[in-house]
Amino acid sequence: MSVRENEYSRTVAKKSNEELLDVMRDFEKYVNGFLQAAIWEIQNRKLSHPSLDRIQSNLEKEIIPAEVETKTERIETDRQNNSEALTVTTPLYSQMAILGFSLFFSPLTGGILLAINVFKVNKKGVLPVIIFSVLYTLLQGYAAIKIPTGNFISILLPVAGAIILSDVLWKKYIGKGVKFEKRSIVVPLVIALIIFIPIIYLFYQNPELFQLTNNK
């Protein structure tokens, strides 16, 4: 067992960012060892929380107050400074960027951006994000071939995939309400354009390709 581990570390490592936030919010409910393991995990994921230093200081003094402030005071404090959410200390691609790339390019491109984010915050979620992105892109491509353009399902699939990536999987692996610095999308946008513009041009110059796919 390393210096940065204790008997609670394995249990804490399985928790999502949102669950770690709950631990920081209601820290008085937990024993010192569990709190210390939670703080280490938050630091390992390069996250921060406004109460982190205070709780760590109290742990070092072995003094964890039973009640630092009342529930009402906490709610009022949250409303005033909105500082309850965990903060990611490294820049991330925003949810809107992931949504846009998923809609205008493909779920795979949006999934790659999300996977990069997850790698920086919670590495265990990278593989599920990539697998979902690849499978959903294949499903969307198959639907594009089999379902006529303009059909409700052909419209719904891209939207559903974009929402799952930018909202559902984001909340699962990044966290709800997490604060972060937005990362520039210039580089991934240029790469996506370099890849997709020739493909679009190919179909534009060879419209018979549309007929081949639709006839399958």
Question: What's residue 208's pLDDT?
Answer: 65
* DSSP three-state, residue 63: coil
Residue among 110, 108, 116, 126 at smallest CA distance from 90: 116
Residue ranges for the chain with pLDDT beneath 50 = 1-2, 63-72, 75, 79-84, 216
At 83 the pLDDT is: 45
Report the pLDDT value the prediction gives residue 8, as an integer from 0 to 100: 83
Q: What is the pLDDT of residue 7?
A: 82
Q: What is this structure's pTM?
A: 0.61
Domain ranges, ordered by start, for the chain? 9-88, 95-175+183-214
Provide the residue type at 161 as one letter.
G
Instruction: Find how far residue 139's CA is from the centre of its chain.
Output: 22
Residue with tokens 């205008």: 104
What was the pLDDT predicted at 94? Answer: 94
Q: CA distances (Å), 36 to each of 13, 41, 174, in order?
A: 12, 9, 21
pLDDT digits (tens, 9 = 90+) for 134-166: 999 999 888 888 877 677 887 899 999 999 999
